[in-house]
Amino acid sequence: MSSKIFNNPILPGFYPDPSICRAGEYYYLINSSFSFFPGIPIFKSKDLVNWKQIGHVLDRPSQLNLDGAAYTGGIFAPTIRYHNGTFYVITTNVDNGGNFIVTAENPKGPWSDPYWLDDAPGIDPSLFFDDDGRAYYIGTRSKKEPKYFGDQEIWLQELDLNTMKLVGESYALWDGALKNAFFPEGPHLYKINGYYYLMIAEGGTDHYHSVTIARSKSILGPYEGNPGNPILTHRHIGKGYPISNPGHADIVETQNGQWYMVALASRPYGGYYKNLCRETFLMPVEWEDGWPIVSPGTGRIEFTYPFPNLPEYKIDKRENRDDFDKETLDYVWNFYHTPRENFWSLTERKGHLRLKLSSLGLVEILKMPPYDAKYERRKEIILDCPSFIGRRQQHMNFEAHVKMEFKPQGENEAAGAALIQNNNHQFRFEYTVENGEKVIRLIKHTSKVELDFAAKTFNYENLEEKLAQKAFASEVIYLKVTARGQDYSFYYGDSLESMKPLIENVDGRILSPEIAGGCSGTYIGMFASSNGKHSDNMADFDWFEYRGEK
Span(s) in the chain for CATH 2.60.120.200: 321-549
* Contact residues for 102 (Cβ-Cβ < 8 A; gap 6+): 57, 58, 63, 88, 89, 111, 112, 113, 114, 115
List b or e across 9-30, with b for residues whose CB sees 16 or more CB atoms inside 10 angstroms. bbbbbbbbbbbbbeeeeebbbb
pLDDT band at 71 (very low <50, low <70, confident <90, very high): confident
User: Quick check: bond before 9 cis, omega within 30?
Assistant: yes
| Catalytic residue (one of 95, 153, 185, 202) | 185
Judged against a pLDDT cut of 50, whether residue 345 lies above it is answered with yes
Catalytic annotation on 145? Answer: no
CATH 2.115.10.20 domain range(s) in the chain: 16-229
3-state secondary structure of 209: coil
CB contact at 8 A, 99 and 139: yes
pLDDT given at position 362: 79
Judge whether residue 274 has pLDDT over 70: yes
Question: What percent of the chain has pLDDT above 70?
Answer: 91
The answer, yes or no, to whether residue 461 has pLDDT greater than 80, is no
Beta bridge partners of 200: 212
Residue 334 Cα distances to 34, 38, 127, 310, 388, angstroms: 11, 6, 27, 32, 8
Residues 374-384 have a mean pLDDT of: 47
* Averaged pLDDT for residues 35-39: 96
Find the mean pLDDT for residues 76-86: 97
Question: For this structure, is 289 an active site residue?
Answer: no
Given a cut of 90, is residue 213 above it in pLDDT? yes
Residue 380 has pLDDT above 70, yes or no: no
CATH for 321-549 is 2.60.120.200
DSSP string, 44-87: EESSSSS-EEEEEEE-STTT---TT--TT-SEEEEEEEEETTEE
Of the pLDDT bands very low, low, confident and very high (cuts 50, 70, 90), residue 82 is very high
Name the CATH superfamily, with its identifier, for domain 16-229.
Answer: Glycosyl hydrolase domain; family 43 (2.115.10.20)
CA-CA-CA-CA torsion for 355, 361, 367, 371, nearest 10 degrees?
Answer: 30
Work out the average pLDDT over 481-494: 94
Residue 36, SS3 per DSSP: strand
**pLDDT, mean of residues 424-431:** 90
* Mean pLDDT computed over 441-452: 66
Could you read off the pLDDT of 145-178 as tens digits, one per residue? 999 999 999 999 999 999 999 999 999 999 999 9
**pLDDT at 201 exceeding the cut of 50:** yes
Pair 80, 26: CB distance under 8 Å: no
Tell me the pLDDT band of 72, cut-offs 50, 70 and 90. confident
pLDDT for 458 equals: 38
Give the global pTM.
0.92
Give pLDDT, residue 192.
Answer: 97
